[in-house]
């Protein structure tokens, strides 16, 4: 069955946060109820676009695969259905996070995709990809200070908001994240 789309966005070859940045711009050009097809090769775009749609009120319709290309479908919400995009207010730096590694009562939560985590991760970090976070909240201690990290601070902002919405009180979004991390790393 062919899916009727109103606009196609080519995000092939782009990595986080660019598929989201381009999707946001494309959605601004659509009318309520219209459908955007996002063509992406970044496997992390699946979790990213689902989370972004959920955080803004737009409807994530689904994803199809054609070879190495993911075809994501989003429906633009009516203005009465949308939520204002809010950056997470509690932000800390890479330097501050580096000083907390190994400290009692601290959890470093890496919400990148497993492949990203495998190749370069902060020592002691726990990997829970953004798309799995809601179903895996029980793996985290609500009483710890949770430092949430991703590649740039975008996915981690969404994850930090999800944590606070679920009762976590001490949550920090780490910016700029792994894209500019200069501290020790581990890999597989």
Cβ contact 161:55 at 8 Å: yes
Query: In which residue are the tokens 């009483």 written?
Result: 143
Dig out the tokens for 49 from the structure. 């676009």
Cβ contact 12:42 at 8 Å: no
Tell me whether the omega of the peptide bond preceding residue 103 falls within 30 degrees of 0, making it cis: no
Q: Can 150 be counted among the known catalytic residues? A: no
Beta strand 59-66 pairing with 69-75: antiparallel
In whole angstroms, give the CA distance from residue 111 to residue 109: 6
Catalytic residue among 11, 16, 133, 172: 16
For the annotated catalytic residues, the residue numbers are 16
């Amino acid at each position: 069955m062919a899916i009727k789309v109103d606009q196609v966005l080519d995000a092939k070859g782009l990595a986080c946060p660019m598929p989201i940045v381009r999707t946001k711009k494309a959605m601004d050009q659509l009318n309520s109820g219209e459908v955007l097809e996002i063509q992406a090769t970044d496997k992390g775009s699946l979790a990213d676009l689902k989370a972004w749609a959920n955080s803004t009120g737009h409807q994530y319709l689904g994803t199809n695969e054609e070879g190495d290309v993911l075809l994501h479908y989003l429906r633009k919400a009516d203005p009465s259905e949308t939520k204002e995009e809010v950056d997470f207010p509690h932000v800390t730096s890479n330097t501050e996070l580096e000083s907390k590694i190994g400290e009692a009562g601290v959890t470093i939560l890496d919400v990148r995709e497993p492949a990203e985590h495998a190749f370069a991760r902060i020592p002691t970090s726990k990997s829970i990809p953004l798309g799995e976070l809601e179903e895996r909240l029980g793996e985290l201690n609500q009483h710890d200070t949770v430092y949430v990290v991703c590649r740039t601070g975008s996915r981690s902002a969404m994850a930090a908001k999800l944590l606070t919405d679920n009762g976590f009180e001490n949550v920090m979004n780490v910016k700029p994240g792994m894209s500019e991390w200069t501290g020790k790393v581990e890999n597989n």
